[in-house]
Chains A and B, each alone.
Chain A
């Protein structure tokens, strides 16, 4: 009897183990089966687009469970996600959206693993599409454009940032304008005027004058895996007319000028920035202990959690031109929505994208997080949302956004799209921290960066 009972129990254990293992597999198999049909689904969706049918009853029949990679963990971003889900479900009752919330640094990793295991999500928010396109993960969107989503409605630089070789891989939602923030109070306190800062030498002199009593002229966020070190480097490189990944002999003099500039600035930067990420950098900015830093149109969304005193003393201006050029440049990227190539629910995903691009959603999103990439959404449409997002400082926020837009209009260039940038970020971060610590010279830093970037390029070339 005991033996029979033991046998029965062991069989139950084996079966439960096997079944629990199969549960996921079934889902995967189902996904695979539907993925196999993805081509026909796409064709079907294209046919639907051709029909341009406005039949609401047909819309209501669209059924999907969309998985959306959503790198938005702040409260406003979560609120936007919730609003997207509710609005989509109101229009398409059978479409449900599961937001997979991640931080920006993890989104490509998640995408890579999901795509590689053929467990495709359906949509994602994306900034630089280069790696995702290299993974063959994104659906080309040119064929999807229609009256609701027209290319000409979007800021060209942002759309360009989402385009590779003429193929649009994402529809820009926010224009991410990168520029420098200047602390007027500290700069004027040091005896300078903002309009005096016209060259790198002016910046060095002002930074030197500002560095005293625990305050620093310039600060970077050099911790983590080097994402923000590279961004700073890239922004200053562009002001000298060179791309940060350019390791050619012709580019060397310009790159050397950039490195020497940072080397000279090292004395006016806080030592602790080696461990900083954005939260620490913005915290120091709110504490009024930093004179100049790089930022983006996301400035308000990032700094608001640290306080509001900074808004009145912050000015957004392009970083002055470098010694090798006549005009400075600031980079304009974008944050947009992409569809995933392997998804079997592209039709529902595109319908969702159309809804996201509406003034009700995109307006609120942009009001919270920066500059709207869709030109047809007016400031009036966004004003109420801005007041809700920044009730005490909404005028200051609008002033800063206007400064970002003005800078982009005059000096904006598309942000460089660099394949293998995450690998290069680590290389640049390592060399920069040694250089800023005066352990190596700018020449040695250049050699280290060049060798590292060339190796990344060679590895990616296979």
Chain B
């Protein structure tokens, strides 16, 4: 077993041209490029074909998307006003240091 190390597109494209298929490791490695629409159209079509047939990769793509959304929501200032509360002593410290600034 090897951890998913991102590889160059060229390797994947060459393998697909040789009649090889996209596998789950390819899906994991090139997932961000797929979501960013950076995949060659032919590779993209094969990628999507794999997703319709492989429930694990389909779930992986969906949960990867959810991860990004959940992280954004968890850190969103509007949803977490307490995260952006300015302690009065910090306001005072900044104004004081400005007063001392040359």
Same complex origin of A and B: no
* A interface residue numbers (CB < 8 A to B): none
* B interface residue numbers (CB < 8 A to A): none
